[in-house]
Amino acid sequence: MGSPQTERTTVGWAAKDNSGILAPYTYTLRKTGPEDVYLKVLYCGICHTDLHRIKNDLGLAHYPMVPGHEVVGEVMEAGSEVTKFRAGDAVGVGLIVGCCGTCRPCESDSEQYCNKKIWTYDDVYTDGKPTQGGFSQSMVVHQKFVVKIPDGLALEQAAPLLCAGVTVFSPLNHFGLKQSGLRGGISGLGGVGHMGVLVAKAMGHHVTVISSSNKKKVEALEHLGADDYLVSSDETRMKEAADSLDYIIDTVPVVHPLEPYLSLLKLDGKLILTGVINTPLQFMAPLLMLGRKVITGTNIGSMKEIQEIIDFSKEKGFSSMIEVVKMDYINKAFERLERNDVRYRFVVDVAGSKLDQ
């Protein structure tokens, strides 16, 4: 396995260009420092952000690129100054693996807003090496950006919590929306949206799913446990539900009107944007002013919040709806994700796959 400071090679599945097609790729991991853990990847979730990045939808992509940022692994070796983990621990790694440590966000446990944060993949680490993600045999990660997965939580279930789960947990936590009895809305029932329903219900909220069609109504109400379902184009039902929600988590990743959602919010209600959209959104200012409403955004969550959502999931016992696949299916999985043909999150069984073929 090599000693710390020894560079190791590993095999991942990388996109070589903006076609987004992944294929086996052998590369060298950075050296293991005293505060690093060397981990074997067991599972890795597939996120819509991965799809955007491998196809260079957001620009500035660097290839070859090994995506994957919902990483579940086993610690194989811990550096001499690692205090939080030891060999054999089940751990998770999310969307960032570095930050400056001295700015206001970093000092307030909000390192995901650090201007010098380092993404888990498609970025450059402090040693000048490109970062590569979790669709790989192994990774080296600083202990600050690793979380402990508690005994009894299924490892494949932990993967979606590391991005989708914390993306909905973080704003509820930050904006003081965790207390039971609140009325919340979840717009869009994809990977993040379905997790939003589960997390909000576990907090004791009355949850309304807002969608563009009725096609997911049965799943939302009967499988995920939502309390109500609104079709955004149904003007009668939308008017009936006006001024009824404390918050809406808007997970829709394409351009859409905001006015229908704003009308659903109570006084001081919050519309929280989580979908990555590169086109400007519009709204009528009086809809905000006449209800002192807020449109805000949120970006994943802090390391502290990732640990909290994982522990909360274990405590409450809720499970996301996932489809476990092997790595040789990953290009098909991305095709299906692009068509929204997944209920509701793909998780790759990395350790159970043959990566070098």
Domain ranges of the chain: 9-163+301-349, 167-297
Paired tokens of 340: 């929204």
pLDDT above 70 coverage of the chain, percent: 98
pLDDT in tens, 266-280: 999 999 999 888 889
Q: What is the pLDDT of residue 253?
A: 87
Question: Does position 3 have pLDDT exceeding 50, yes or no?
Answer: no
**Three-class secondary structure of residue 312 per DSSP:** helix
What whole-number distance in Å separates Cα of residue 291 and Cα of residue 270?
10
Question: Does position 4 have pLDDT exceeding 60, yes or no?
Answer: no
Per the CB < 8 A criterion, the answer to whether 263 and 242 are in contact is yes
* Class in CATH terms, 9-163+301-349: alpha beta
Q: What is the pLDDT of residue 313?
A: 97
Paired tokens of 252: 């829709």
> Residue 72's pLDDT band (boundaries 50, 70, 90)?
very high
Q: What is the pLDDT of residue 59?
A: 85
User: Do 9-163+301-349 and 167-297 agree at the fold level?
Assistant: no
Q: What is the mean pLDDT of residues 96-122?
A: 97
- Tell me which fold the domain 167-297 belongs to: Rossmann fold (3.40.50)
Q: What is the mean pLDDT of residues 261-268?
A: 97
Q: What is the mean pLDDT of residues 292-301?
A: 96
Q: What is the pLDDT of residue 6?
A: 65
Q: What is the mean pLDDT of residues 55-60?
A: 89
What whole-number distance in Å separates Cα of residue 158 and Cα of residue 93?
10
Question: Does position 246 have pLDDT exceeding 90, yes or no?
Answer: yes
Q: What is the pLDDT of residue 5?
A: 55
pLDDT in tens, 303-345: 999 999 999 999 999 999 999 999 999 999 999 999 989 999 9
Which residues make Cβ contacts (< 8 Å) with residue 3, sequence separation at least 6?
A: none
Q: What is the mean pLDDT of residues 199-218?
A: 97
Rounded to the nearest 10 degrees, the angle between the axes of helix 303-316 and helix 191-202 is 60
Q: What is the mean pLDDT of residues 59-76?
A: 96
Q: What is the pLDDT of residue 7?
A: 77
Which residues make Cβ contacts (< 8 Å) with residue 309, sequence separation at least 6?
A: 161, 165, 166, 169, 199, 301
What whole-number distance in Å separates Cα of residue 302 and Cα of residue 215?
34
Measured in residues, the chain has a length of 357
Residue 239: phi, psi to the nearest 5? -65, -40
Q: What is the mean pLDDT of residues 39-64?
A: 94
Nearest partner of 123 among 158, 153, 106, 98, judged by Cα: 98
Question: Does position 164 have pLDDT exceeding 50, yes or no?
Answer: yes
Instruction: Establish whether the linkage from the previous residue to 247 is cis, with ω within 30° of 0.
Output: no
The mean pLDDT value of the chain amounts to: 95
Q: What is the pLDDT of residue 2?
A: 42
Which residues make Cβ contacts (< 8 Å) with residue 262, sequence separation at least 6?
A: 271, 283, 287, 288, 291, 293, 295
> Residue 188's pLDDT band (boundaries 50, 70, 90)?
very high
What whole-number distance in Å separates Cα of residue 18 and Cα of residue 51?
10
Measure CA 322 to chain center.
14
